[in-house]
Structures are given as C-alpha cells and as structure tokens.
Amino acid sequence: GMGMNTALRDAQAFYQLLQEHDDDLDKVLVEFSKKRVKEGNSLTDLAFNLYCLDEGAQGKETLHMLVRGKLSDWFPSVFTKHPQMIIGSPKYNLADVYQIATQLNIIPKHRAINDQIRRKYYEESIGMLPKASAASSTGILVLLGLSALSVAGMVAGMKFYAAT
C-alpha cells in the first residue's frame, strides 16, 4: 500500500541523489532529508487520520468521498478528487494528498475524533477511568441506511440525466 509505494519512491530519490552528488553521502543524506522526510510524515499522518475510527463519522466521510468523486468527474476544474481516491496516483505524492486532506478539513476532523477514541481506550484499558457501557448501534444503522439511499438517489439521478 502507501508504505511500499513510499519506500520505492524513497529508493528512487536516493539513487537519483547519489547520481547527482557523485556518491557523496554527506550531501546526499542532507538533500534526501529535505526532499523525503515530508513524505514519511505525511504517510504516518494519513495512515492514522485519513480514515476515522468512529463508524458514524467514517460513514459520512465515505458518502463525502462518493459525492466528491462524482463532482470531480463532472466539474474537474472546480472539485479535486477525494484524497482517498488519489493515493497512489503518480500525479500526487503523499504530501500533496495530506495538503488536500487538510484543506478539506478531513485530517483535522479525524485527528480530533481518533485521538479522543484512542485516549479513551487507553484510559479505560489501564484502569484510569471505568469502562463505559456499549452504545446502541441503531444510530449508525440509520446513518448507513440514509447514506445508501442518498447514493442510490444520486445514481438514479445520473442515469435519468444521462438518458435525457
């Protein structure tokens, strides 16, 4: 996945820098850090926060991805594709994906939710706080059902629009 692609791009960048600097490792390592560290940091943050640990929030994000994907197909000069759809594309590196996800408020929103979930789990698992009772999944099922209906309506509208 993202890690393997990043490792391959790192190896390619390292090789190119060795060629450019006649195998001078001191120069290569400094230049490599300037060029590639942001990719590694982007990889880590995207892996932790591009997806949301909260099922309801991730359901909304999946719907956002589907709608944004269609809008970017119809109006590419106005809408970029959703960050999840452009990972691995040769046109975008991970720092680009991170920047887009941050501008769309995906990373900040998911980071806040995910950090809260991780913290709560940690505090409960080691006994700092008592374990909370399990919440009802009814709300999640309703949200997913509404999301499916929204997508079905969008697809039906596209078919109707294409037929006219």
pLDDT one-digit tens code per residue, 72-87: 999 999 999 999 999 8
19 assigned to some structural domain: yes
Which range of residues forms the domain containing residue 94? 2-158
Per the structure, the count of domains in the chain is 1
pTM greater than 0.75: no
Q: 86-114 b/e with 16+ CB inside 10 Å = b?
A: bbeeeebbbbbbbbbbbeeebbebbeebb
94 assigned to some structural domain: yes
Q: What is the pLDDT along the chain (164 residues), one digit of tens a residue?
A: 777 888 888 899 899 999 999 999 999 999 999 989 999 999 999 999 999 999 999 999 999 999 999 999 999 999 999 999 998 888 999 999 999 999 999 999 999 999 999 999 999 998 888 888 665 555 666 666 666 666 665 555 555 455 55
36 assigned to some structural domain: yes
